[in-house]
């Protein structure tokens, strides 16, 4: 009812009950934004009392709800630190023009709080603002860098925090253009009087093509300087000691003829592989660690028209990710303190081949830049404005199956399609055990008189070789060290303990019959016959169930399968 004073009570006792007990905050305003009523939940959310704001202007009482004189929509950060979701409904009931619904969304942000804790633990300063430029997040590192109080910054517009115009603010510019602004050096003084030198990267936050806000990632220039010195140190290590202007050129010494079991590895497609090697198509090589991927890469390079050019391998997992960009793309003088004009590996490999080993260890952000280089055949040094044309063939090695790497987001899908034009899979050693003795002979080439005992050969054929060819070479090198001067046969006790433990049992040297006397052979043959008969009887008893039989015999399934193959045991049909 209207009592003549302009003050109007909300009608209906039922409506009043719903209004007062709603889980959402509700504010009723007129066309002039005068507050006619506010429910208890809205009082709680806003931290205000009805008696102090009723019939007052909403713009004056809660200015956070407005932008350029109009009510905001969506998520809003209040001065009291709360985040709310605001919805405005036209009700057109008498002088009551609008109902404003406020919902506190702290429940939705429980997981985000955990994320914020993580963000607060890193060194980089991180600030988020919404589309209007109001700061919604300001981490502890940023507050420490600028010597400001977080609570004094959150909720304020960036133009007020830094005394900037909309044209000067990188965050507002990023929102407006919907483009990132990268590696920007800034020197400024905070409103608390602290002079700062920082390096800043600003990114728009987009959804469905619309900019919802921006995020600014900042690092103190002094820390960037330290990082830059590390980049320079890494670059120096990659350069030839003869002079900083000389290229980092490595030679590829292996050819297809040097790879043992090449026909089986390439599944009789050696001619096809040699043919595509002559092209400039990117090559992606997949194989477990230690299978010889770099040997394959060198062979492809040496079979190509680029064989006279440089072959430069780089292990993407061996270099810290924050240094890798400068190593690959190079730097220009002034990009950071003490930075000089240095070629990156792409430029160093010009006219030749660049091998990116363990590509699945490269950060996805850097993979995006790599994709651009491949597509445009141009590279831009860190800190440079111009692009440099390059002529480089790229070979990549990965140790994770490609489809799994893409699914786990270890490799960008679009990059995989670019790099996998020619795809070669190198099988693990356990799938090509017929090559074990050939590889052994190759590794023992400088020790021609050294042989393997039969027991060692059996063990080698039974073993899985999780480290593949690299592990086989290591085992033989260790065994050679253990040989005495008057010994030329590698026996079980010469082998590293890990290989014996992984097999699951140890074979006594007395059963190693490679050097046994003639009179000892019947005993060994008898033992083998007994073993064969025992295996056959156990298999028959268990209806030829290999898993059940291996458990009963106290053997690993693979060990039993090896013995079945050794003794030519199979189920009769």
The helix (run of H) or strand (run of E) holding residue 189 is: strand 181-189
pLDDT number for residue 242: 36
Q: What is the pLDDT of residue 214?
A: 92
User: What is the reported pLDDT for 186?
Assistant: 81
Domains defined along the chain, listed by start: 13-104 (3.30.450.20), 110-223 (3.30.450.20), 239-425 (3.40.50.300), 434-515 (1.10.8.60), 522-566 (1.10.10)
Structure tokens that stand for 7 in this block: 């003050």
Residue pair 328/354 in contact by the 8 Å Cβ criterion: no
pTM above 0.95, yes or no: no
Looking at residue 299, its pLDDT comes to 93
- pLDDT given for residue 519 in this prediction: 45
Cα 118 to Cα 136: distance, rounded to the nearest angstrom: 16
- What would the pLDDT profile of 451-473 be if each residue is shown by its tens digit? 898 888 888 888 889 899 999 99
Burial of 225-248, coded b for 16+ CB within 10 Å and e otherwise, reads eebbeebbeebeebbeeeeeeebb
Write the secondary structure of 94-142 as one string of H (helix), E (strand) and C (coil).
CCEEEEEEEEECCCCCHHHHHHHHHHHCCCCEEEEEECCCEEEEECHHH
CA distance 355 to 568: 45
Which of 58, 49, 32 lies closest to 66, judged by CA? 58
Q: Across-strand partners of 284? A: 396, 423
pLDDT in tens, the chain (573 residues): 444 444 445 456 777 778 888 888 999 999 889 999 999 999 998 989 998 999 999 999 999 898 888 888 777 888 887 888 888 888 877 778 889 998 877 544 554 566 666 677 677 889 999 998 999 889 888 998 888 888 888 988 988 888 778 788 899 999 999 888 877 778 777 777 787 888 888 999 887 778 889 999 888 776 655 655 555 565 555 554 334 444 444 568 888 888 887 777 776 677 888 888 999 999 999 999 999 999 999 999 999 999 999 999 988 887 766 678 888 998 887 655 455 678 889 999 999 999 999 999 888 888 999 999 999 999 998 878 889 999 999 999 999 999 999 998 899 999 999 999 999 999 999 888 888 888 888 888 878 788 898 888 888 888 889 899 999 999 999 889 888 888 889 998 888 877 776 665 444 444 454 444 444 455 556 667 778 888 888 988 888 888 888 888 877 676 677 778 777 887 765
Report which secondary-structure segment, H or E, holds 474. helix 468-482
């Amino acid at each position: 009812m209207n009592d003549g004073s302009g003050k109007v009570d909300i009608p209906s006792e039922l409506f009043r009950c719903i209004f007062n007990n709603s889980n959402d905050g509700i504010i009723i305003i007129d066309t002039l934004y005068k507050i006619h009523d506010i429910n208890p939940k809205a009082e709680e959310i806003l931290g205000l009392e009805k008696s102090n704001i009723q019939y007052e202007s909403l713009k004056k009482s809660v200015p956070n709800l407005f932008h350029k004189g109009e009510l905001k929509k969506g998520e809003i950060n209040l001065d009291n630190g709360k985040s709310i979701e605001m919805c405005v409904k036209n009700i057109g009931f008498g002088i009551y023009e609008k109902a404003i619904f406020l919902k506190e969304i702290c429940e939705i942000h429980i997981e985000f709080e955990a994320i914020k804790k993580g963000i607060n633990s890193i060194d980089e300063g991180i600030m988020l603002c919404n589309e209007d430029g109001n700061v919604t997040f300001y981490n502890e590192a940023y507050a420490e860098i600028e010597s400001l109080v977080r609570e004094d910054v959150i909720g304020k517009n960036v133009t007020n925090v830094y005394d900037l115009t909309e044209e000067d603010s990188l965050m507002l510019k990023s929102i407006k253009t919907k483009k990132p602004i990268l590696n920007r050096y800034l020197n400024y003084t905070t409103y608390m009087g602290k002079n700062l030198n920082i390096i800043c990267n600003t990114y728009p936050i987009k959804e469905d093509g619309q900019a919802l806000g921006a995020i600014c990632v900042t690092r103190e220039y002094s820390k960037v300087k330290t990082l830059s010195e590390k980049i320079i140190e890494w670059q120096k290590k990659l350069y030839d000691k003869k002079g900083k202007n000389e290229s980092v050129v490595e030679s590829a010494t292996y050819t297809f003829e040097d790879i043992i079991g090449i026909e089986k590895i390439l599944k009789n497609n050696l001619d096809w592989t040699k043919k595509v090697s002559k092209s400039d198509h990117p090559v992606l090589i997949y194989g477990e660690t230690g299978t010889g991927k770099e040997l394959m890469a060198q062979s492809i390079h040496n079979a190509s028209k680029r064989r006279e050019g440089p072959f430069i391998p780089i292990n993407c997992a061996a270099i810290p990710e924050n240094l890798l960009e400068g190593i690959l793309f190079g730097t220009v003088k002034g990009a950071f303190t003490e930075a000089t004009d240095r070629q990156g590996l792409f430029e160093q490999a010009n006219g030749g081949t660049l091998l990116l080993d363990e590509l699945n260890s490269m950060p996805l952000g850097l993979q995006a830049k790599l994709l651009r280089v491949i597509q445009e055949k141009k590279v831009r040094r860190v800190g440079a404005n111009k692009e440099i044309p390059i002529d480089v063939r790229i070979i990549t090695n990965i140790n994770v199956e490609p489809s799994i790497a893409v699914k786990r987001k270890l490799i960008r899908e679009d990059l995989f399609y670019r790099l996998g034009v020619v795809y070669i899979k190198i099988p693990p050693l356990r799938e090509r055990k017929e090559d074990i003795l050939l590889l052994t002979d190759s590794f023992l080439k400088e020790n021609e008189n050294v042989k393997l005992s039969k027991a060692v050969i059996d063990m080698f054929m039974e073993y899985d070789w999780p480290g593949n060819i690299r592990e086989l070479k290591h085992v033989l090198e260790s065994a050679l060290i253990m040989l005495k001067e008057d010994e030329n046969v590698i026996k079980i006790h010469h082998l590293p303990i890990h290989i014996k433990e992984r097999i699951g049992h140890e074979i006594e040297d007395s059963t190693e019959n490679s050097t046994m006397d003639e009179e000892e052979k019947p005993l060994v043959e008898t033992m083998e016959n007994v073993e064969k008969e025992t295996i056959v009887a156990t298999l028959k008893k268990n209806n030829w169930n290999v898993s059940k039989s291996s458990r009963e015999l106290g053997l690993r399934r693979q060990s039993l399968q090896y013995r079945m193959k050794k003794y030519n045991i199979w189920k009769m049909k």
